[in-house]
């Protein structure tokens, strides 16, 4: 063995060119192994997701699906353009888990100017591999609040706040960001502009546009799964991925204003169907609207007291069809609908409440509609009958024979046995019906 090794060494020493070639091969082979381990093969694309609005189940599905597909495509990185006032804790954690498990860098970009990353948006921004903001944006105010109008006692508030503070500190520590500021954002609801956030090490970049952000990301070192990679975004192809039509439709349903309108349309549809059995169309439309409204309600923080008042309003409106209350049930139904609408999405955050103008407009339209219906009903009750025996009263006819006091008269094209109530009436004289008695009528001379 020693003799063979000596022979190889002597051969290499006698052939410098061979020795140099072998050393170069070993060097490049080793460098290739090192690069293959550190930089996995990627597709030179930058995926861009755009989200604006409150964070909920639909938006979480859109973002997590986008991260998953970008990973499958081996994109260079994924940029999430975000403008959010916050949202549901469960949906926020779902997004953060997808970001933390991503095999490609995820960059959160608070954009455009005037946008914000508040509440749940703070957590998502801090969890990203690179955090960026546009000029004129802000981040912060991440104090947890209860949804659905439920009041938490002090002990529960402290538990929820401590949980959120610990979660955001762990995220900030993992991304080597300002843990003290992150905790204050939860406990004290502090906020910062893009310049303050950059100075406080809350974010990494300030960029005025997507193109500027991509330019600043080029050659930037990013830690990914304990390894350091260098982003190559200068010549990358930008691929913008929006919501699918189904996701856009479902996201539209999570708007409390849309949910409230669907609920009202469902109520009106059922009311028309019960008022006019067999119309079919109002019942079909109302049923579909109610089902869509129930889907929306399960995604929103609903106060069940408000929902109960709206159900009571529906019952009162339906009873108004069957019971003659001269508008009392309608007035009660409108009051129940108005107060139920106010309580339905009682939440401390405005984006989970319908517009008060919408509620007022709905109450006014409902009041006007049922006032019209009730008014027509009352008028119909008070109106003189125009058919049947009762419809003959006050009708004008002619005497076909002399009435002294009995005889025959022609009224509404019909011959009636009549009795005079005003003395003798001659043939062909005008008479007016004053009373109907069975098959006989009582008339008087006009």
Query: Which residues are known catalytic residues?
Result: 119, 159
Tell me whether strands 75-83 and 43-52 are parallel, antiparallel or unpaired.
parallel
**Residue appearing with tokens 């986008």:** 66
Are 231 and 222 contacting, i.e. CB atoms less than 8 angstroms apart?
yes
* Long-range contact pairs involving 167-176 (C-beta distance under 8 Å, separation at least 24): 167/123, 168/122, 168/123, 168/126, 168/142, 171/96, 171/123, 171/126, 171/127, 172/126, 174/100, 174/127, 175/126, 175/127, 175/128, 175/129, 175/131
Are 267 and 275 contacting, i.e. CB atoms less than 8 angstroms apart?
no
Q: Hey, is 110 helix, strand or coil?
A: strand
- Count of all residues that appear for the chain in the document: 446
Euclidean distance between CA atoms 316 and 53, whole angstroms = 37
Q: Hey, is 256 helix, strand or coil?
A: helix
User: How close are the terminal C-alpha atoms of the chain, in Å?
Assistant: 146
Compute how many other C-beta atoms are within 10 angstroms of the C-beta atom of residue 201. 16
Question: Counting Cβ atoms within 10 Å, is residue 372 exposed (0-12), middle (13-18) or buried (19+)?
Answer: exposed
Euclidean distance between CA atoms 267 and 58, whole angstroms = 26
Number of Cα atoms under 13 Å in the Cβ half of residue 392: 24
The H-or-E segment that residue 55 falls in is none
**Residue appearing with tokens 């691929």:** 239
* DSSP 8-state class, residue 257: H
Both tokens of 433, joined, read 């019906």
Q: Hey, is 417 helix, strand or coil?
A: strand
Are 109 and 79 contacting, i.e. CB atoms less than 8 angstroms apart?
yes
Q: Hey, is 36 helix, strand or coil?
A: helix
Distance of CA 178 to the CA centre of its chain: 33
């Amino acid at each position: 063995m020693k003799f063979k090794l000596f022979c190889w060494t002597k051969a290499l020493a006698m052939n410098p060119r061979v020795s140099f070639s072998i050393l170069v091969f070993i060097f490049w082979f080793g460098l290739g192994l090192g690069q293959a381990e550190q930089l996995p093969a990627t597709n030179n694309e930058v995926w861009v997701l755009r989200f604006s609005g409150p964070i909920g189940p639909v938006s979480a599905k859109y973002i997590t699906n986008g991260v998953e597909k970008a990973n499958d495509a081996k994109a260079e990185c994924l940029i999430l353009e975000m403008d959010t006032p916050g949202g549901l804790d469960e949906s926020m954690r779902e997004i953060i888990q997808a970001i933390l498990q991503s095999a490609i860098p995820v960059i959160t970009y608070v954009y455009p100017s005037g946008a914000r990353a508040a509440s749940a948006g703070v957590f998502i921004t801090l969890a990203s591999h690179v955090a960026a903001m546009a000029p004129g944006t802000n981040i912060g105010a991440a104090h947890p609040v209860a949804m659905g109008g439920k009041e938490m006692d002090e002990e529960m508030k402290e538990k929820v706040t401590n949980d959120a503070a610990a979660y955001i500190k762990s995220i900030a520590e993992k991304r080597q960001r300002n843990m003290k500021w992150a905790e204050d954002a939860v406990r004290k609801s502090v906020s910062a502009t893009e310049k303050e956030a950059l100075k406080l090490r809350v974010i990494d970049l300030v960029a005025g546009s997507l193109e500027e952000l991509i330019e600043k990301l080029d050659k930037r070192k990013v830690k990914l799964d304990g390894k350091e990679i260098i982003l190559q975004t200068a010549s990358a192809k930008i691929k913008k991925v929006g919501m699918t039509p189904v996701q856009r439709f479902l996201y539209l349903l999570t708007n409390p204003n849309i949910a409230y309108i669907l609920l009202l349309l469902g109520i009106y549809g059922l009311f028309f169907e019960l008022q006019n059995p067999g119309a079919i169309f109002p019942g079909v439309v109302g049923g579909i609207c109610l089902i869509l409204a129930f889907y929306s309600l399960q995604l929103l923080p609903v106060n069940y007291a408000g929902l109960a008042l709206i159900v009571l309003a529906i019952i009162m409106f339906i009873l108004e069809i069957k019971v003659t209350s001269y508008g009392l049930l309608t007035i009660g139904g409108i009051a129940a609908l108005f107060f139920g609408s106010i309580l339905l999405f009682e939440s401390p955050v405005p984006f989970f409440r319908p517009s008060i103008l919408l509620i007022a407009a709905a109450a006014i339209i409902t009041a006007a509609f049922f006032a019209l219906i009730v008014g027509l009903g009352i008028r119909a009750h008070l109106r003189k009958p125009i058919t049947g025996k009762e419809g003959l009263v006050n009708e004008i006819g002619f005497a076909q024979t002399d009435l002294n006091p009995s005889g025959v008269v022609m009224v509404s094209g019909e011959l009636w046995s009549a009795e005079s109530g005003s003395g003798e009436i001659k043939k062909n004289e005008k008479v007016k019906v004053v009373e109907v008695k069975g098959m006989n009528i009582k008339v008087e001379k006009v």
